[in-house]
Amino acid sequence: MAKTYRVEIAGVSKSFRAVQALKDVSFNVRPGEIHALVGENGAGKSTLMNILSGVLRKDSGTIRMDGLPVEIPGPRAGRRLGIGIIHQELALVPALTVAENIFISRLSRRFGLVDWRDLNHRAGELLARTGFPEIDPRATVANLGVAYRQIVEIAKGLSENVRVLILDEPTSVLAPQEVENLFAALRILREQGVGLVYISHRLDEIFRIADRITVLKDGAVVRTVCPAEITPGDLIGLMIGRTLTAMFPHRDSRAGAEVLRVEALNRGGKVRDVSFAVRAGEIVGLAGLVGSGRTEILRAIFGADPKDGGTISVGGRRLRIHSPRDAVLNGIALVPESRKDHGVILNMSIRKNITLPSIGRLAGALGIIRQRKERSVAQTLAGKLGIKARSIEAEVADLSGGNQQKVVLAKWLGTDCRVLLLDEPTRGVDVGAKAELYRLISDLAGGGLAIVMVSSEMMELIGLCDRVAVVNRGGIAGVLEGAAITEENIMRLAVQKGTGGIG
């Protein structure tokens, strides 16, 4: 076979002290191919990509690019060889313009003066190559949405003449429509002969975009397959090393009395006339594009943002909610979208995180915390949710994403909440942990909580929700129930124009 690969990794191993992160891994990408890399967190995907981009050095093995053996001692060398990487956390400077960001590493090489016209012009050409000529090179990055920022990252990669572009969870922050746009850009790159490595937890997307799929588990390659040769269920089986009968637990819909009722909720054009009700034991999904107002609806219910109008009732009682405190006192809990910024306190222990909303009740006179009681409450909740950690005194920063999310859930279970608002509860969490969270959420509903769940993952909405309300530009465009909850129906409602309730 004289076929040359854009990049060919052969027999690469890497150890961190006693831990072998990669064992004799071989992996290759052809020119004009999208090669997906999947596996649980800790399977070695990031290590492999860090070696390829020069962040880490391999212990043994070889890397060839276009047939020639290369050494990649550092990130600069990686870039010079044409290896680009787009991280989960985007690496753009928000205060600079699109063009400045694209050419940031080469601005200063012009006798101290920057030729803005030329810069903007070249940036415009690159954006056009990605299929997004509508992005203005002079726009400030801070004003762009996440999806456009990603395109800017890709354009930045193109400006450096990438031969191999690595995308690490590129769609985790994108809505369905934006995912389509990203895919369009990726297909254009593929036609131009770039080799793409696509890392994602979202299997539905992988099956749509990938030409080949490589499964990593415990630092070794399990198999490389074509999407046509395997079913999503079998792929999950390869990733977690056992057959998965169902990602989603079976749920008996035995909804009880109405718990939460939201009526004519409005908030500054972002939320328009939103009304819905949730019964005990029910999971109601909020679907829609990113920016459609789903998060804003939850935050308005929770009192995190001021609302302009509308009523919220729990258990038939109309509530005055002006702050998260009002919501919590009335039995409403929120698991926020951004776990690290809003959900957990990273440098505090699991115990202190879990008892944060209920600490007042664990204290006696003068606000003195009853330490033994606090420990036992935290221990019980951590055990109930199966939080895996050295002890409840471990810092939350040391936990995996899935376990951090369990800490957020645990802290609300310590209160008397009746309504649980979940905003993207499984974002950035690996497959095994996702299944666990689904089971937990389902159990919580089974225990009589009324649950509202915002999600951008179709599978999750379809697999878990009793009903799905589709949000479109701040209003509810339609409510789907039972068998009508399909990807097509959700998308149709999410993107349709002139939805009712939007004046």
Partner 1 sequence: MEQQQRGTKGTADVDRPAARRLHRESLVVLVLEYNTVLIFLAMLVLAASLSDVFFSRNNIFNLLRQVAGLAGMGLGMLLVILTAGIDLSVGSVAALASVMVAWLLGVLGLGPALVLTVAIGSLCGAVSGYLVAARNMAPFVATLAMMTIARGFAFIVSKGSPIIIADPRLNNFGSAYWLGVPAPVFVMVVIFGLVAFLLRYTVFGRIVTAIGSNEAAVRLAGVRTGWYKFAVYCISGAFCAIAGIISTSRTGVGSPIVGTGAELDAIAAVVIGGASLGGGKGTAFQTLLGVLILGIIGNIMNLMNIPGYPQQVVKGLIIICAVLLQGWRRNPEG
Which residues contact partner 1 (rule: CB under 8 A)?
Answer: 302, 304, 323-325, 327-329, 334, 336, 341-348, 352, 356-357, 359-360, 363, 366-369, 371, 379, 382-383, 386-392, 411, 415
Q: At what angle do helices 116-129 and 146-159 cross, to 10 degrees?
A: 110
Partnered with residue 25 across adjacent β-strands are 12
SS3 267: strand
Q: How far is the CB of 371 from partner 1 (least distance, A)?
A: 8
**In this complex, which beta carbon is closest to partner 1, that of residue 33 or of residue 424?**
424
Give the pair of three-digit tokens for residue 45. Answer: 């995907």
Sign of the alpha-carbon dihedral angle for 477, 173, 41, 216: positive
**In this complex, which beta carbon is closest to partner 1, that of residue 316 or of residue 360?**
360
**In this complex, which beta carbon is closest to partner 1, that of residue 41 or of residue 140?**
41
Q: How far is the CB of 356 from partner 1 (least distance, A)?
A: 5
**In this complex, which beta carbon is closest to partner 1, that of residue 159 or of residue 400?**
400
**In this complex, which beta carbon is closest to partner 1, that of residue 197 or of residue 392?**
392
Q: How far is the CB of 240 from partner 1 (least distance, A)?
A: 14
Q: How far is the CB of 294 from partner 1 (least distance, A)?
A: 17
The answer to whether 458 and 435 have CB atoms below 8 angstroms apart is: no
The label of the residue with tokens 């939080």 reads 387
The answer to whether 70 and 94 have CB atoms below 8 angstroms apart is: no
**In this complex, which beta carbon is closest to partner 1, that of residue 192 or of residue 338?**
338
Count of all residues that appear for the chain in the document = 503
Partnered with residue 28 across adjacent β-strands are 8
Report how far residue 245's alpha carbon sits from residue 235's, in angstroms, rounded to the nearest whole number: 12
**In this complex, which beta carbon is closest to partner 1, that of residue 346 or of residue 491?**
346
Q: How far is the CB of 324 from partner 1 (least distance, A)?
A: 5
Q: How far is the CB of 32 from partner 1 (least distance, A)?
A: 40
How many C-beta neighbours within 10 Å does residue 52 have? 25
**In this complex, which beta carbon is closest to partner 1, that of residue 190 or of residue 434?**
434
Report how far residue 417's alpha carbon sits from residue 329's, in angstroms, rounded to the nearest whole number: 8
Q: How far is the CB of 277 from partner 1 (least distance, A)?
A: 23
**In this complex, which beta carbon is closest to partner 1, that of residue 233 or of residue 383?**
383
One-letter amino acid for residue 435 of the chain:
A
DSSP letter string over 400-419?
Answer: -HHHHHHHHHHHHHTTT-SE
Report how far residue 439's alpha carbon sits from residue 449's, in angstroms, rounded to the nearest whole number: 14
**In this complex, which beta carbon is closest to partner 1, that of residue 157 or of residue 343?**
343
Q: How many C-alpha atoms does 231 have within 13 Å on its Cβ side? A: 6
Residue 40 backbone dihedrals phi, psi, to 5 degrees: -70, 165
Report how far residue 167's alpha carbon sits from residue 14's, in angstroms, rounded to the nearest whole number: 21
Q: How far is the CB of 417 from partner 1 (least distance, A)?
A: 10
Partnered with residue 407 across adjacent β-strands are none
Q: How far is the CB of 3 from partner 1 (least distance, A)?
A: 42
Report how far residue 447's alpha carbon sits from residue 311's, in angstroms, rounded to the nearest whole number: 26
Contacts of residue 257, defined as CB under 8 A and 6 or more positions apart, other chains included, come to 279, 280, 315
**In this complex, which beta carbon is closest to partner 1, that of residue 108 or of residue 323?**
323
Q: How far is the CB of 346 from partner 1 (least distance, A)?
A: 7
Q: How far is the CB of 120 from partner 1 (least distance, A)?
A: 35
Q: CA 458, 461, 466: angle at the middle one, nearest 5?
A: 150
